[in-house]
Amino acid sequence: MSVKRIYLDNNATTPCDPRVVEAMLPFFYEMPGNAASRNHPFGWEAEEGVNQARQQIADLLDVDTKEVIFTSGATESDNLALKGVFEMYARKGNHIITLQTEHKAVLDSCKRIEKMGGEVTYLPVNRDGLVDLNELEAAITDKTILISVMWANNETGVIQPMKEIGDICAKHGVLFMSDATQAVGKIKTHPKKVGIHLMAFSAHKMYGPKGVGGLYVSRKNPRVKVTAQIDGGGHERGMRSGTLNVPGIVGLGKAAEIARLEMAEEAQRLSRLRDMLQKGLMDRLEECYVNGNEDHRMPHVTNISFKHVEGEGLMMTFNQDIAVSSGSACTSASLEPSYVLMALGLGDDLAHSSLRLSLGRFTKEEDIDYAIDAIAAGVNHMRDLSPIWEMYKEGVDLEKVVWTEH
């Protein structure tokens, strides 16, 4: 039997859509120009490709083309937005508010900002992964310059109340930035409608190529400026120097166009498959818990804890066939439970026992049937081997057991 290869890790990265690859190809050889070369057709063609991509992205986000800055990806966009605002608005204040469940690109940028004299509030989230709006508003001080809240979480798919947060930011005259990497191209993300002033996104999370992304920067009401973090030829309106990655940008543009046209239908199809997958597992297995709010969640993601099963080990039972992520992160020394799940109030054990299953454009219904069988078999296998599961089945109250170390 041939090994199946089912990819349910689309939140880590998506495959590149063949239509995207096709759009990119001419820009590698036939049209090799530098988009900044103003004096020959090679340059003009490249610039034309970039202009079209900027338009495609502006259409997807419902913004002006001048508000789109190309970068190397969402990590760079997050860095540019946070550090760039911190530097540019230093005279206004030094305080930033964000969430404990943000991506490392935001959290580590904030840590750097703290080293540079900034103050950062890392707000907790509720059990379901949502921010408490009263707490958010109460955290604002007269030094607050920016609130940074991700649109959708990469581990749980939980969608934050963007419009409500935008209203709070507007009321207090604070800039609103969002890492929307997991949301752009999958659900409607119109920053102006919800009051976002800076928004990061990445091509490889929306069926485009790796190593290219963008940052939306509002130009009107208010006109936002960020201090460049990379100096050079003054590309991208002085905010991000460096020769533009023309094929990558063309790919990002094509990915945006496809997303705009197909997003609604795709979301419907994927949420049906996601629900099938989640229900299939929950029906077959006892002691499973869905992590994060299910009503405010991306259509293609589910994050499930399988009690008394270690997620990394579980993954090993089927990872030749099916790619998923676990709720553990490998650090240099050990396997750490996901800080996102810990912020939702899960204990170490439930965090370690979780899987993130993220579907995508190329997921088929038969993949879901296969995945339910394989994951359920894996969980049962792990539990059959587990003395803890045996004790649990015998009715031992595991909370009361005194464990000895040896």
The binding site for ligand PLP (CB under 6 A) comprises 73-75, 103, 105, 150, 154, 179, 181-182, 202, 204-205, 213
The residue written with tokens 């009401």 in the block is 221
Say if CB 123 and CB 135 are below 8 A apart: yes
Residue 288 annotated as catalytic: no
**Of 215 and 309, which CB lies nearer to ligand PLP in the complex structure?**
215
Between 248 and 337, CB nearer to ligand PLP = 248
Point out the catalytic residue in the list 16, 110, 169, 330. Answer: 330
DSSP letters of 161-204? -HHHHHHHHHHHT-EEEEE-TTTBTTB---HHHHT-SEEEEEGG
Burial 10-48 (b: 16+ CB within 10 A, else e): bbeebebbeebeebbeebeeebebebeeeeeeebebbbe
Which of residues 325 and 328 has its CB atom nearest to ligand PLP in the complex? 325
Q: CA angle at residue 374 from 364 to 279, to 5 degrees?
A: 65
| Distance (Å, whole) CA 187 – CA 195 | 17
For 259, the token pair is 């997303």
d(CA 385, CA 206): 39
Cβ proximity to ligand PLP: between 166 and 213 the closer is 213
Q: How far apart are CA 192 and CA 163, in angstroms?
A: 10
d(CA 15, CA 20): 10
| Peptide bond between residue 32 and the one before it cis (omega within 30 degrees of 0) | no
Q: Long-range contacts made by residues 280-284, C-beta under 8 angstroms, separation at least 24?
A: 280/368, 280/369, 280/372, 280/376, 281/372, 281/375, 281/376, 281/379, 284/372, 284/376
Q: Name the residue nearer to ligand PLP (CB basis): 146 or 150.
A: 150
Cα-only R_g, the chain: 23
Q: Token pair for residue 56?
A: 């495609």
Q: How far is the CB of 161 from ligand PLP (least distance, A)?
A: 17
**Residue whose Cβ sits closest to ligand PLP:** 73
Q: What is the closest distance, in whole angstroms, from the C-beta atom of residue 110 to ligand PLP in the complex?
A: 13
In the complex with ligand PLP, which residue's Cβ is closer, 151 or 389? Answer: 151
In the bound state with ligand PLP, the residue whose beta carbon lies nearer, of 182 and 302, is 182
- Distance, in Å, from the CA atom of 193 to the CA atom of 166, rounded to the nearest integer, reads 9
Please, is 139 exposed, middle or buried when counting C-beta atoms within 10 Å of its C-beta (0-12, 13-18, 19+)? Answer: middle
In the complex, minimum distance from the CB of residue 200 to ligand PLP, in angstroms, rounded to a whole number: 7
Q: Minimum CB separation from ligand PLP for residue 90, in Å?
A: 25
Contact 293, 129 (CB under 8 A): yes
Catalytic positions are 330
